[in-house]
Structure 1
Amino acid sequence: METSKTINYSGTFLSCFFDNNTSCVHATKDHTLVYLYSGKLIIEERNKETIVHPGECVFIRRNHRVKMTKLYSDTDQYKGISMTFKRNFLRDFYSEIDKNHIPKKVKSLKESIFRIPLRPDITSLFQSLIPYFDSAVQPTDHIINLKEQEGVYCLLNTDNNFFPVLFDFSEPWKIDILDFLNENYMDDLTMEEIAAYTGRSLATFKRDFARVSDITPQKWLITKRLEVAYDKLKNQNKKASEVYVDVGFKNLSHFYAAFKKQYGFSPRR
């Protein structure tokens, strides 16, 4: 029986969950607009929680990681559409608009998650996408591009402060690699993702990491996870089956093998 479905059209995609809830860490490399049709969406960033109900829409800034929990109800499946705005698309959009219409002296929004007020233009935009997901007719790239342009205009009409957010093409600031890894060692991230979140290309990340550690990033992560697991097992009386997922291992057998290789004895001890 089908329990979930995701359909992706050039960065605009529908997510459906029929009879199961799901929770995951979502990496927003690009600005993302999320509209909820049914069910319930909980977005967590550090200690802040944003709850999205059907008919509501939220904007998530690029280069942020959030935990998204998608819930179905007794009567409705979870169903939501996400629209991403890639940097190249925004550059092209910016090059075409009349710069005289750009408001002066506006401050960039500080929030990484911004709730969009309920407005007819937002509702109309996402309702117009439904037929493409409910049928076998695939929209052309031109159609998706027009819908994304409509999404940008919806944001700009919502708040002038979106201008400096959407059209900021400066490179992200580099952040301390070890600070980032110590905070996020338990997450399932590729080296490319870690590089991007610390404001670097993969090559620059590897070069910078070699300056602060004499082991590879992969080895550093495994060592860090095992050290935290060791502390939990020894000082918190936890069981291996209780800690291996918390520290970032995908399965128990891999955790046992890595632990024994590093410490010379089984985590059962």
Structure 2
Amino acid sequence: MIDRSKDLQPNILTEQFIPDHVFVYLEKGTLECYDGNKNYTFQEGDICIARKNRLARYKVKSNIEYKFFCFDEDFLKVIQKKHHIKPVTLTTKDTFLKIPNNELLLSFIQSLSPYLKNNQNIDKTFQEIKYEELLFILLKNQPELAGLFFDFSVPHKIDLESFMETNFTFNVSIQHFAFLTGRSLSAFKRDFKEIFNETPSRWLTQKRLKEAYFLIDQKNKKPTEVYLDLGFETLSHFSFAFKKHFGISPTELIKKLN
């Protein structure tokens, strides 16, 4: 599928777990991304690939328009088998790979208009053809991308404590945290209990609230500036949880500090 999104409001957070490789062409606006380690900024005309099985947070700095293609594993396995493509080593570990503009890519993007149904999705008759065309344009220009698209390995078991301390602000499910640390859900919960002596859900809430308190108390941040970046979906939910935990609302804390 290819989508074209318009008039998104600033600071909207979208899905924070990337399940498939995603090709994005930013037609208008500015998009900021953060993967837990590095910040990325994309502007009008930029092209990038978001890497699967990663965490990412997005901030829309202005109204944007974009096109994107999601390359799912089943499709990529069919293409690899069909064309006998061998994976190569991709040296970069970045979550977002900026793709240089070139004539083939720009011509491809311009060619999409006749295939778009209701200006949103490619007609199903042509979807697979256009996906394959895009994939081979990318591989022709950057053969090393085969090391990204045709790497079907799953995350291996990693240090759970370090990962959670780094990524607790991402608003994703416990199942996704388990997968990204190379564990089944039951093994993740068991290991988590041994390390933190707490359930994942309770620990995440407490950790995020403590960080929020620090940012408001010590860094003079406003609740509206922190709640999304700390994994809370709404300001009202954040304020309710904050008061329940600390006995004082974020607004009351600001008044107390002033």
Please give the TM-score of this superposition, normalised by the length of structure 2: 0.77
Displacement of 1:153: 0.6
Q: Which residue of 2 aligns with 1:226?
A: 209
Give the equivalent residue in structure 2 for 1:60.
Answer: 50
Q: What secondary structure does 2:91 align onto?
A: coil
Query: Counterpart in 2 of 1:110?
Result: 92
Q: How does 1:166-205 map to 2 (within 5 A)?
A: 166-205=149-188
- Do the aligned partners of residues 36 and 219 (structure 1) sit closer, same or farther apart at CA in structure 2, a change above 3 Å counting? same
2:118 pairs with 1:135: yes
Aligned length: 248
| SS across alignment from 1:155 | helix
What is the letter of the counterpart of residue 248 of structure 2? Answer: S
Q: Deviations over 1:187-217 (max 9, x none)?
A: 3222233223333443443343233344321
Distance in structure 2 (CA, Å) of the matches to 1:165 and 1:79: 26
Q: Partners in 1 of 2:114 and 2:17 — Cα distance?
A: 28
Stretches of structure 1 lacking an aligned partner (at least 5 in a row): 1-8
Post-superposition shift, 1:30? 1.4
The one-letter amino acid of 2:55's match is: R
Name the amino acid aligned to 1:69: K
Q: Could you tell me which of 138, 143, 151 is aligned with 2:134? A: 151
Q: Which has the higher strand share?
A: 1
Partner residue of 1:78? 64
Answer yes or no: is the 8 Å Cα contact 1:41–1:68 preserved in 2.
yes
Overall identity of the aligned pairs, in %: 30
Alignment correspondent of 1:50: 41
Summarize the Cα distance change of 1:130–1:260 in structure 2 as closer, same or farther, 3 Å threshold.
same
Q: Which runs of 5+ in 2 are unaligned?
A: 254-258
- Alignment partner of 1:170: what SS? coil
- Alignment counterpart, residue 160 of structure 1, candidates 140, 143, 154: 143
Q: 1:108 to 1:233 in 2, by over 3 A?
A: closer
Alignment-mate amino acid for residue 85 of structure 1:
F
Task: Name the CA shift for 1:251/1:123 in 2 (closer, same or farther; >3 Å).
Answer: closer
Give the drift of 1:85: 1.0
| Alignment partners' CA distance in 2, 1:51 and 1:241 | 24
Which stretch of the first structure deviates more once superposed, 118-127 or 238-247? 238-247
Task: Identify the residue that residue 74 of structure 2 maps to in structure 1.
Answer: 88
Return the structure number with greater relative CO, CA threshold 8 A, min gap 6. 2
> Residue 39 of structure 1: which of 29, 36, 45 is its match?
29
Q: What amino acid is aligned across from residue 83 of structure 1 in structure 2?
A: F
CA RMSD, aligned part only? 3.3
1:81, CA displacement in angstroms? 0.6
Q: Is the 8 A contact 2:4 2:119 kept in 1?
A: no
SS at match of 1:215: coil
